[in-house]
Structure 1
Amino acid sequence: MGGNDRRIHNRTAMSAKVRVTHDELGDFVFSTRDISDGGVFVVVDTEPFVPSIGDRVQVQVQGLPVPAPVLDMVVVRKTIDGFGLQFADA
C-alpha cells in the first residue's frame, strides 16, 4: 500500500444490497462496492444520506433466505460516490 492509503485490511469487490439505518436520517437501501475484515463501502447515488464522520449506523444485508444480523458500524470516510463504514468493534 502506498500513498495516503491507510487501510490495513484487503478489500474484496462485492455488490450486495444493504439496509443502512441512521438514528436521525432514517432507513436507506444501498449497494456495496467492496468489503473487508474492517468494514464496507456503500455507494450512494441520489439518496439524501448525509451522515457525519463518526456517526453510528446499523447495517443489514438484504435479500438472503434468512434475516442477516444487524451490525453496528461507524462512518469513517466520505467520497464523492459513497461512504466507508467500519465495524464498530473492529
Structure 2
Amino acid sequence: MPLAAEKRKHPRIKVSFDVEVRHPLNGVAHYQTRDMSDTGMFVISKASEIVAQEGEIVRVLIETASFVEPMTVDMRVVRHTSDGKALSFI
C-alpha cells in the first residue's frame, strides 16, 4: 500500500538541534527539535520540562553551528504530546 501524500500546508523538515525554552513564570528547560516547518517546530524533552499551557507564549533560544549567533524567538505552545511540545512562530 503506498504511503499517503503529504497533506500539510507547511511540510515539516526533520532537524535536530538543542533549544532552550523559557517560560516567564515557570523557568527554563532544554529540548531538542524533532522537526520544523515555516510556521513552527516540535521539540522533545531532553531531561527537564517546563509547565506551559496551550496558548501560552515562551521564549526559545536556538543555537546551531550554522548560526553565527544564537537566535531568540517568541513562540506559542499549540499542542502537547507524551514526548514533547508543538510550538508556533508568532
TM-score between both structures, scaled by the size of structure 1 = 0.81
d(CA) in 2 for partners of 1:11 and 1:42? 13
Closer/same/farther in 2, CA of residues 49 and 7 from structure 1, 3 Å limit: farther
- Residue in 1 that maps onto 2:72: 70
Pairwise CA RMSD of aligned residues?
Answer: 2.0
Residue 70 of structure 2 aligns with an amino acid whose one-letter code is A
Residue 70 of structure 1 aligns with an amino acid whose one-letter code is T
d(CA) in 1 for partners of 2:38 and 2:45? 21
Residue 67 of structure 1 aligns with an amino acid whose one-letter code is E
- Residue in 2 that maps onto 1:13: 14
How many residues align? The count is 84
Unaligned runs of 5+ in 1: none
Identity, % of aligned pairs?
A: 37
d(CA) in 2 for partners of 1:59 and 1:33? 15
* 2:23 matches 1:35: no
SS at match of 2:71: coil
d(CA) in 2 for partners of 1:68 and 1:45? 19
- Residue in 2 that maps onto 1:47: 48
Deviations 1:17-60 (A, max 9, x none): 01111101111111000000000001025524221000101112
Find the structure with the greater CA-based Rg: 2
Unaligned runs of 5+ in 2: none
d(CA) in 2 for partners of 1:50 and 1:7? 28
d(CA) in 2 for partners of 1:12 and 1:87? 15
